[in-house]
Structure 1
């Protein structure tokens, strides 16, 4: 196994951080789901709140207009024990997820989408922009006393004008990413611990799925692990935050197997690349409230 080095603690004291985005000034934007905020981590590790989002801000990406776009799952009930923080059931009986836009200069928050064809979004989770300026996002669903929602994958315009559902009835889609050539969409399912690849046939449009599957099967871990959000390397590898046995699972996009990088948290949820050479990997250790930085052996893909 390749040596990925010792992770450096960039920040601590976060309340279930996810969605890191490395900024040009050396800071990192992320969301704190349990605090309901968009937060900036300065290079010295100090924290400042950019915007109060409420609910459960989950995934984060910068749009072509320089604003931050947030997947808000609506909120969780929280479980704390042994110094760890875990999300439980949905905080509300009815779905109340949304896609929010945040002006990074003023902190003003706008809700772009909270429904599709009259039905509320259940639990938007992760987001990635394409080269055309639109974005893909997963709706993971939520767990309630009545059971677990199915999830879906959507495509939407950044100005709030249109949204389409491109995959329905998925089993908790979580992470989402694009191949280096922009022709393939990847998604990870949490509870099935599977990564899927889907062909993009036009901007915002996926090819029809094969029978019994949402796309082409890429891989699954060899042990009991759950998959969270992802980032793609410049060379095409798919790096997925991994829980239960916490770490990063690196999948060959062609289905040629995986490699596991263990990290000191049972809830490693997100990875994002930054730095001048795109080899600074920022990783959220969510149950302990930490942000790590690792010098990655390969550069990450420059996101749209």
Structure 2
């Protein structure tokens, strides 16, 4: 597979969105911006987002909705720019709305039922216009928050926790026809599937298992954000091994290596046949383009 560097010099890119005009909108977590990358590699800042802008998605109103994790400390390791822990001055996480025409930023949610959001990470809109999002939590040298995933309305009118606690909930996506929601846990290397009974509602767990366990990756592989293929398989960014793992409901896995970066964090799909893929290699600050072997699942809303 051929990987083309569309852009370099990004400051820990994440949350790519393939736009109809050929550009890719993404966040730069360390730079604290929402940024547009044009097909020629040119970068344009859309909005400043103090803290830690993370996952991003187009909503039903054409605005970009962003999970803000509240920020990280940063360190350099073998030439890679890597995040860890909560920074000095950390006050919590939030869900934000960015108007693409004006760059105006609105904070929609910073808590749920009185409990502050700690590290919102990734989000996806359903056909009804609401969105699911994960909260990874925050870690220090001595403790780690529980994670969970939530459902909320884009007008700021409602938020509720769908399921938790989980361990470092990261990527989230919806399967074909919104029948299932899939969640990746970073530290466990697990991908979970949950049956949806209504928007924002899942089937109650049976016994001690919270949902359908699609896979637990072997060795020391950590999971990040994800996107869905049209065939219902999950494409989850896989840290340390540095690539994308394609995971099926039949527990099958297929690994595609991405060049020169163990911190591959996300993938998105676009193009006429949904086989154009853009991948964020965050440690090196690179946005790659490739032709994916399988068609991606079209999102309900896009630019």
Query: TM-score scaled by structure 2?
Result: 0.96
Say if 2:261 is the partner of 1:261: no
Q: CA RMSD, aligned part only?
A: 1.1
Name the CA shift for 1:85/1:141 in 2 (closer, same or farther; >3 Å). Answer: same
Kindly report which structure 2 residues correspond to 1:66-77, keeping only aligned pairs within 5 A, or say none: 66-77=62-73
Q: CA deviation at 1:189?
A: 0.2
SS at match of 2:82: strand
Q: CA deviation at 1:142?
A: 1.0
Q: Which of 187, 195, 218 lines up with 2:183 in the alignment?
A: 187
Please list every run of 5 or more consecutive structure 2 residues that lacks an aligned counterpart in the other structure: none
Per-residue deviation, residues 23-79 of structure 1 (Å, max 9, x unmatched): 000000000000100000011001010000110000000000000000000000001
Kindly report which structure 2 residues correspond to 1:1-304, keeping only aligned pairs within 5 A, or say none: 5-92=1-88, 96-252=92-248, 254-264=249-259, 265-304=261-300
SS at match of 1:148: coil
Do the aligned residues in 2 keep the contact of 1:126 with 1:229 (CA within 8 Å)? Answer: yes
Report the number of matched residues: 299
Query: TM-score scaled by structure 1?
Result: 0.96
Please list every run of 5 or more consecutive structure 1 residues that lacks an aligned counterpart in the other structure: none
Q: CA deviation at 1:211?
A: 3.2
For residues 90 and 45 of structure 2, what CA distance do their matches in structure 1 show? 28
For residues 75 and 211 of structure 1, what CA distance do their matches in structure 2 show? 37
Do the aligned residues in 2 keep the contact of 1:219 with 1:255 (CA within 8 Å)? Answer: no
Do the aligned residues in 1 keep the contact of 2:113 with 2:160 (CA within 8 Å)? Answer: no
For residues 251 and 165 of structure 2, what CA distance do their matches in structure 1 show? 27
For residues 94 and 286 of structure 1, what CA distance do their matches in structure 2 show? 22
Do the aligned residues in 2 keep the contact of 1:176 with 1:229 (CA within 8 Å)? Answer: yes
Q: CA deviation at 1:119?
A: 1.4
For residues 263 and 109 of structure 1, what CA distance do their matches in structure 2 show? 33
